[in-house]
Amino acid sequence: MPDQKSGKETAKLHKAYQATNTDELAEAYDDWADEYEDHMKSIGYTHPAMVTSLAAQHIPADATPILDAGCGTGIMSEIMQALGHGHIVGLDASPGMLKIAGEKAHYEALHHMYLGEKLDFETDTFEGVVSSGVFTQGHAPLDGLDELIRVTKPGGRIAFSVARTYLEGLFDPKRKALEDAGLWRYVDETGIYNSAPLGDHLPSRVYCFEVV
């Protein structure tokens, strides 16, 4: 039987996945911000490690700047810094999560923005993009990939996780549409993994594409 702590973790995770708009999503993560890292690390949350693992293979350490899209509390920045990446810029929908990310001092800048809306960055700004746990049910729409492509320089790589209903059928037509439009090309992908083993099986995969 799950203990009280794991039950609380599951409830907060489900609240985030069940958000129906950006305000609900931000509210869910603001409420969770102070406990988020302890909860997710304790249950073996694997998205950040999986995304940075693939990114490290395909985004050079001297690529700069790097965008952490949906940075949360900054777990990704800790790993990216340790792997030699500097000049990381973060964005997230939750002010509460951004506050904690800012306390780590791993980011050159942090921005309150929503994936799925137009990003307040110039075209061709970043040499690489990483995104962990964002393209999934109740979070960023897959149209958010269009903006990530726009703000990435030609030849830059985007490494991101895809999970739940997106992975189970919605992502394939989106990736093909972007390929057919000549906006990106496939580079690599991981196998299927369970991103948050909290009783639910959360099938996930990390992809890497190169912007054309």
- Alpha carbon distances (Å) from 87 to 62, 68, 83, 105: 10, 10, 13, 11
**Is residue 150 very low, low, confident or very high in pLDDT (cuts 50, 70, 90)?**
very high
Least confident range from 20-29, 125-134, 161-170: namely 20-29
Residue 161 Rama label (left phi>0; alpha psi -120 to 50; beta): beta
pLDDT score for 3: 47
Considering only CA atoms, give the Rg of the chain: 16
Identity of the residue numbered 34:
D
Q: Give me the CATH number covering residue 146.
A: 3.40.50.150
pLDDT at 41 over 80: no
**Is residue 5 very low, low, confident or very high in pLDDT (cuts 50, 70, 90)?**
very low
Q: Residue 157 in contact with residue 36, Cβ under 8 Å?
A: no
d(CA 33, CA 72): 8
Compute the mean pLDDT over every residue in the chain, rounded to the nearest whole number: 85
Identity of the residue numbered 140:
A
pLDDT score for 13: 57
In this structure, how many other beta carbons lie within 10 angstroms of the beta carbon of residue 193? 17
**Is residue 37 very low, low, confident or very high in pLDDT (cuts 50, 70, 90)?**
low
pLDDT: which is higher, 69 or 198: 69
pLDDT: which is higher, 142 or 7: 142
Boundaries of domain holding 51: 4-211
pLDDT score for 187: 98
Q: Taken in order 131, 136, 139, 144, is the CA torsion positive or negative?
A: positive
Residues of the chain above pLDDT 90, percent: 64
pLDDT score for 28: 65
Least confident range from 24-28, 69-73, 126-130, 145-149: namely 24-28
Total domain count for the chain? 1
pLDDT score for 105: 86
**Is residue 29 very low, low, confident or very high in pLDDT (cuts 50, 70, 90)?**
low
pLDDT tens digit string along 49-101?
899 999 999 999 999 999 999 999 998 898 899 999 989 999 999 999 899 99
pTM: 0.82
Identity of the residue numbered 74:
G
pLDDT score for 141: 93
pLDDT at 175 over 50: yes
